[in-house]
Structure formats: C-alpha cells, structure tokens
Structure 1
Amino acid sequence: MGRVFEREVIHLNIADFAAAVESLREPSLRGRPVIIAPAGGQRAGVYDMSEEAYQAGVRKNMPLYQARRRCRDAAVLAPQPQRYAQAMARVVRRVMPYSPLIEPGEMDGHLFVDVTGTGRLHGPARDAARRMARQIQRDLGFCPAWAVAANKLVAKVATRLVKPAGQYLVAPGDEAGFLWPLGLDLIPGISRDDLFRLRELNLMTAGQAAGLSPEQLAVIVGRRAGKIHDAVCGIDYSPVSPAGERPDTVSAACGLGSDTNCVSAAEAVLYRLVEKIGAELRSRNRAARRLVMAIDYADGRCCFRQTTLEPPAADDITLFAVCRRLLHKAWVRRVRLFYVYLACPAPVAFQVQRQLFSDPAGVIATRNSLAGAVDRIRHRFGHDAVRPGRVMVVQP
C-alpha cells in the first residue's frame, strides 16, 4: 500500500481585496479610509472597504448613506469587477508552482491550496505558505494572512482570526479544540436563520453547539443539523478543486407549454424555476451570488441577461424578485415566449457577518426561515403540499 498523507490545506486571505486593489493602483489612497460602493444612489450597499473604514464602523452591505455618515472623509469608488478578477488571476499564478489543487474565491482575495504530499518538493506546509505570502507581497504588493490546517473550513476560520496579515497553524487532530471557544458567527456555512435559532437557546460558541448530538441539533435547525454539527466539530471533507476547474452550476429550465405573451403565465413558470434552484441551493447550504437567464422567443431568437446579488441569497422571495427584473429586461420584443432557462453559476457559502447592518429589520432572516419551513413541509408531505398562488395562473 502507498503512504497515506494527512491533509494539509493552506488558506490565503487578502483582506479587503477590492480596496487593496484600488489602493495599489492609486498610492494616494494608502492609509486613507476607502469605500467601494456602486455609484448612482445613496441606498446602494457597500461592496468592500479598507481597514481604516472598517475601524470607523463601515461594514459590507451597509447602505452608502449610512457608511458616509460613519466615515465622512472616506474616498468612495465604484466597484471594478474586471479589475479584481485580473488581480485574482495574478495571485493564482504566483501560487500555481506549489500545487495543482488551487481553489480561488470569486474576486474576493481568498485562495485554498492543497499541498498534501508535497513536502519533499516544497518543504513543510507552513514554509510553503510563508513563501507564497512573501512572493505575493513582493510581486504584487498584497500582504495576505495565511493559515495551515487539515481542511478548508478550519483553515478559513483561522485566517479570519489573524487577518489582515497574520498567520496560524492548526495542528492535525486539534480542529475541534481550536474551534471550541469561537463564536458561531465565525463558522462558515451557518446561515443567519440557523444562527438566530441557536442564539435563542443561548448557544453562542462552536463548543456549545458541538456538545449537542446531531439529533438534538435537528430539533433546532432541522435537516441541516448534520452539516452544522460537522462544521462546529471541524469536520470538512470537501476537496480543493483543481486549478482551472469550472465551478458547479445550479440550473433549471422549463417550456411554457404553448407559446405565450401572458406576463403572469411567464412569471408563474419563472417562479417554479426559482423554487427548484432555491431548494437545491439550500440543500447544499449555498447561496446565489450571480444569476443568468436565457429566454427563447417563438421566432427562434434568444436573449440573455445576468445580474449579481449582493448579499448572496437562497430564499425564493429574494431570488424571484431579482429574476422577475431580469425577465422584464430580457423580454423586450413583442413576440411570444416558449422557453425560459435560469442558472446560478458558482454558488457561494452562506456568510454571516458579526454586524448584520444589511438586515436591520430582520427581513432576510424571516425569508430564510420561511423558505426553510416550506422545505421541511415539502420534504415530509410532498412538493404540492405548499403551492404559492403565483404558480396557479390561468392564461386568458
């Protein structure tokens, strides 16, 4: 038998990535508070911010008008996704010599590298991580935090503790002990709704949640109890995807039966597609950051539209509101429709922020809770046990 290696996963975290890219491009921004937010409206949400703006109280997804009040001397710049994607690609190229298993985030400065079994080539994982960070800083000007652990989840939590530029080593076998005292909001994959339910029972730390059995957790969070129990215990078997591998996509498509120009009928079909995608995302504990729609006209022509969700979402109400706007942007010809395709490329994990500025009234938590309740009813009694009125449309 061949030698079995313990997994060694490096997580690199370039804090405030978009703001860091802009500061490198414009040196006068260094040391100043910087807010990245879409132009054109004070109610636009903050996309990213520098450490100086964070210290002043600015948070991601906070309305821009509120961020300006908290940090009046901040420089406000519009997001440049293409610029951030190019910068992310340059970071990946610096890491590629160390392993073929490299999984970058989506323009967010996060990067997983699986260096299992490469010790004879590159030395211990901690030395490889240190060299990666130094090379990125020397060649590109970024100063990433890094951590080494036995899996992706624990490595990511570790960099959260030491960013913007620290380092952390989690010894193999010490995953549960490392997570034990940490707040549940630091654990990836625990949704806002789950966090609210756990806090209602005074379960604040990973150790407190890990002290419950999966069966006990199921009473609180339902079918996701097993995944959450694994997460708080530091168990994560998900692989690091090979460099260049396309991320998974959640998609659904449906014909309209007969060609139609009835808006309500088209929206009913769209809602069914949203329900399918939303249920699949929630079953994976993922959320949609980007949505792509294609509609086919009866005369054979096709139209594509896409949009980005910030923050990412997985509840049907939010997804349908976004998709409905996409439908009306795509359906601009006075021609009947006969086919609708909807896709969510590269779904992302739920993110729970310490300060939920983006949801002051609890709307997002309520929608997630409702979606979870509908999922549980349908799982027990069948999909047709709950049917929204929107899908029961009779064409004129």
Structure 2
Amino acid sequence: MDRWTNLRKILHVDMDAFYASVEQRDDSSLIGKPVVVGGRLNSRGVVSAASYEARKFGIHSAMPMAEVYRRCPHAVCLPVNMLKYGEVSKQIREIFLTYTPMVEPLSLDEAFLDVTGSTSLFGPADEIALMIKERIQQELNLTASVGLACNKFLAKLASDLQKPDGFVVVQPDRVQEFLDPLSVERIWGVGKKTAEQLHSLNIRTVRDLRKLEQGYLSQLLGTVGSQLYLLARGIDDRPVESDRIVKSIGRETTFTSDIADRDLLETVLLKLSVDVGRRARKESLKAKTITLKVRYNDFQAVSRSHTLAQASNLDNVIYHEACNLLREVALKQPLRLIGVTLSNLTDQEVNQLSLFSELSQDSEHLTKVMDSVKEKYGETSITRARLLKPKEHSE
C-alpha cells in the first residue's frame, strides 16, 4: 500500500442495525423477521432501530410507531434496552482498543479509529479492518460495516456504501473517482434545505458541486459553502479524538397519551432526573446548567434553562430545578414529550465546597449508596416512593 505513505489511515466502523441485530442474536426466533426497536406497535413512540427485514417495508429510524403498524402490521416491536446495548458496545470497544488507543466513539454503534501507528504491529490497515470485522463476528455474533480512508469524512462515507457487512477502501489516488458520482446529500452539512438550494441550481452530484467556485459557494451558503467546497474534494483535516469531552447528558420520554396533569409530569421528571444524575455520576461529572424540554401535542417545542451557583449531579437538585422550570412553562396544551438535559459539565472533583457542605456530603453519600445497590441488584432494587406509581404513560 505504497500510496498510503505519509497519510493517515482512518477506519469508520458502523454496526449493522445494531439494536435490532442484538435482539435477533439473543432470540433466534426473531431471525428473518421484521424487528423494530422503539416501543409497542401503533404506540406514540418512534423507531430507534429497524432490522434489514423491516427496512424492506420502508421502516427507518425516527419513524412514528403508528406508521410502522401501517406499513408492516406483522412487525415484531420491542422496547429499547439501553443497558444491554451499552454492554455490547463496551465489548466492541474492547476489540477496537486491541488494535489502537485512538478510538473516537460517535455513539454506541459507531466509532472512528486511527490505525496509522498500528500497522507496524498488525500489518496493513485493510488487514486490521478485516481482523476487527472478523472478531466482532466471531466473538459477538454481530456484523459491522467498515470504511477505510485517509480521513474521517471519506471513511464514514465508505462504511455506508455496502451495508450490511460491508468493507470499502477509498484509495488515496482515487478519491475523486469515489466521490464524484455520489449525490450531494451524502456530504456532511447538506440537509434538506441545502439540498433544495443546490438542486434548484441543478447541482445533484458531488461532481456538479465541485464545478462551483469557493467564493460562490460561500456567498450562497455562508460558512457551510466553504466546508462543502473542501469536502467535495475529499479534504478533511480533523484528527480522531480519543478523549472526546461529554458536552451534555440528556433523557427524554414520549408519552403514549398527552398529559396536562402537573403532578404526573413532575413524577416523570423525577424519573428522568434520577436517570441523568446517575449517568453524570458514572462519568464523574457535575452540571451547572439544567434544561427542561417539552413538546406540545401540536409538536411545538419549548425549552427552559437555569444555571446553578454550584455544579451538581445530585438527583434532588436536578429534580428541584426541573420542577421549577416546568412551573415556567404554560400548559396551554397537553404535552406529548418531556425531557431533562445537563450541560455546562465539569469534573466533579474540582468543585468548591458550598456553605452547606456537610449536608451536601450526606446527600452525595446516600446517592452513592443507592447507585451501588442498583449496580449490584438491578435498577428496580431500590427506588423512590413517588416512582412506585403506575408507569403506563411513557415509552
């Protein structure tokens, strides 16, 4: 692979229909059936993942479950099991780390790997990619699609071209040959609105886009135009970042029926606050900003935020602030969705002691004990009394 000399060797590994594939792997009766992960059939939830059998019916991520029922009434619909998917994701990452420490997770089911410095130990980059695919198949009984290129943009494009179980290499001296036939929608930054603008100019492929001058693209699309000019030529200098900083921690839920009862909404907020608080503690992070998000039954979304004087990851603090923010929201219509997000995150060890540090330490100690019990005996082993109410209202 002489043509790769002095160039980075980047892999993008993308698991195939990850959540649905894990469910099919763990229950052989689901193999060959249209499996949809996201909620009950014909419910108010949305699709998180669809097996390739389900995709033949036009089912895709973020589709309302009611539409799934219309397209495929015999689909097998399962709830999201993030604990299980998270554990499998950790196993996948352990395989990655066998070959390089330069791993940048994008989500549970995809990551960038820089294997530039690994070739002296494991051989050429394409052989490393195939070894990773084979180990995922043999050890976890799952398939992954992999793209190999000299940068992240090209590697991610490549991994998507021959799914499932694909492997595409973009040779450095054939980048333009690879890019030119692709539709402009394939380029990062080209959403629906930008695509419509380009189509109105009869720009439909990367080859068409490449004919436009950088100045014209910048005038037409602003900073996005300059980015598209570079990407259309396969230029992307971003490094693989192995220690990505978590910028926010959020959790939201869509109700099976619209809710206007504040007491019930506050109960849901407690569950969400406990969830995001526990994740923040697991990541050794505290948040200064708490954000509440709601969506009315007409799909209008509203958010409210509050910044704390001192960062916290305690459930009670998060819940108190979320309830205060909810009181600022007019329930002019019932809600179909509610969510809580922590941001402005900081390492929990660097916080200053508050005036009530003794009380705060007691709360932190109690919270850690509850976390330990849940970790050892399961999520339902210990909970708050308010959460013992019926849970029939959300997905």
Scaled by the length of structure 1, the TM-score of the pair is 0.63
Counterpart of 2:211?
211
Task: Please tell me whether the aligned partners of residues 293 and 302 of structure 2 are also in contact (alpha carbons under 8 angstroms).
Answer: no
Task: Report the alpha carbon displacement of residue 306 of structure 1 after superposing the two structures with TM.
Answer: 6.9
User: SS of 1:117's equivalent?
Assistant: helix
Letter in 2 for 1:249: K
Cα-Cα RMSD: 3.7
Letter in 2 for 1:37: G
For structure 2, the residue ranges without an aligned partner over 5 or more in a row are 250-275, 278-286, 306-317, 329-340, 346-395
1:1-396 matches, within 5 Å, as 5-39=6-40, 42-107=43-108, 109-242=109-242, 245-249=243-247, 321-323=302-304, 330-332=322-324, 343=343
Task: Please tell me whether the aligned partners of residues 41 and 66 of structure 2 are also in contact (alpha carbons under 8 angstroms).
Answer: no
Task: Report the alpha carbon displacement of residue 46 of structure 1 after superposing the two structures with TM.
Answer: 1.3
Task: Report the alpha carbon displacement of residue 105 of structure 1 after superposing the two structures with TM.
Answer: 2.1
- The percentage of counterpart residues that share the same residue type is 27
- CA shift in 2, pair 1:306/1:78, >3 Å: farther
For structure 1, the residue ranges without an aligned partner over 5 or more in a row are 252-290, 293-301, 311-316, 346-396
- CA shift in 2, pair 1:205/1:329, >3 Å: farther
Task: Please tell me whether the aligned partners of residues 5 and 117 of structure 1 are also in contact (alpha carbons under 8 angstroms).
Answer: no
Alpha-carbon distance in 1 for matches of 2:176, 2:320: 49
Alpha-carbon distance in 2 for matches of 1:68, 1:195: 30
Task: Report the alpha carbon displacement of residue 201 of structure 1 after superposing the two structures with TM.
Answer: 1.8
Task: Please tell me whether the aligned partners of residues 304 and 330 of structure 1 are also in contact (alpha carbons under 8 angstroms).
Answer: no
User: SS of 2:148's equivalent?
Assistant: strand
Task: Report the alpha carbon displacement of residue 13 of structure 1 after superposing the two structures with TM.
Answer: 1.5
Task: Please tell me whether the aligned partners of residues 15 and 110 of structure 2 are also in contact (alpha carbons under 8 angstroms).
Answer: yes
Task: Report the alpha carbon displacement of residue 44 of structure 1 after superposing the two structures with TM.
Answer: 2.2
Task: Report the alpha carbon displacement of residue 303 of structure 1 after superposing the two structures with TM.
Answer: 10
Counterpart of 1:362?
none
Task: Report the alpha carbon displacement of residue 333 of structure 1 after superposing the two structures with TM.
Answer: 9.6
User: SS of 1:147's equivalent?
Assistant: strand
Alpha-carbon distance in 1 for matches of 2:151, 2:288: 42
User: SS of 1:112's equivalent?
Assistant: strand
Per-residue CA distance 1:34-65 (angstroms, 9 max, x = gap): 11124597332211100010011112111111
Alpha-carbon distance in 1 for matches of 2:148, 2:239: 15
Alpha-carbon distance in 2 for matches of 1:164, 1:335: 47
User: SS of 1:208's equivalent?
Assistant: helix
Task: Report the alpha carbon displacement of residue 223 of structure 1 after superposing the two structures with TM.
Answer: 2.4
- CA shift in 2, pair 1:211/1:333, >3 Å: closer
Per-residue CA distance 1:334-390 (angstroms, 9 max, x = gap): 999xxxx96288xxxxxxxxxxxxxxxxxxxxxxxxxxxxxxxxxxxxxxxxxxxxx
Counterpart of 1:270?
none
Alpha-carbon distance in 2 for matches of 1:185, 1:206: 9
User: SS of 1:6's equivalent?
Assistant: coil
Moved over 3 A (4+): 38-41, 302-310, 326-329, 332-336
Alpha-carbon distance in 2 for matches of 1:199, 1:344: 39
Between Structure 1 and Structure 2, how many residues are aligned?
283
- CA shift in 2, pair 1:333/1:219, >3 Å: closer
Task: Report the alpha carbon displacement of residue 171 of structure 1 after superposing the two structures with TM.
Answer: 0.7
Task: Report the alpha carbon displacement of residue 135 of structure 1 after superposing the two structures with TM.
Answer: 0.6
Which structure has the greater CA radius of gyration?
Answer: 2
Task: Please tell me whether the aligned partners of residues 189 and 231 of structure 1 are also in contact (alpha carbons under 8 angstroms).
Answer: no
Letter in 1 for 2:202: N
Of residues 79-88 and 97-106 in structure 1, the stretch that sits farther from structure 2 once superposed is 79-88
- CA shift in 2, pair 1:187/1:75, >3 Å: same
Task: Report the alpha carbon displacement of residue 187 of structure 1 after superposing the two structures with TM.
Answer: 2.1
Alpha-carbon distance in 2 for matches of 1:112, 1:178: 20
Task: Please tell me whether the aligned partners of residues 8 and 150 of structure 1 are also in contact (alpha carbons under 8 angstroms).
Answer: yes
Task: Report the alpha carbon displacement of residue 196 of structure 1 after superposing the two structures with TM.
Answer: 2.1
Task: Please tell me whether the aligned partners of residues 19 and 48 of structure 1 are also in contact (alpha carbons under 8 angstroms).
Answer: yes
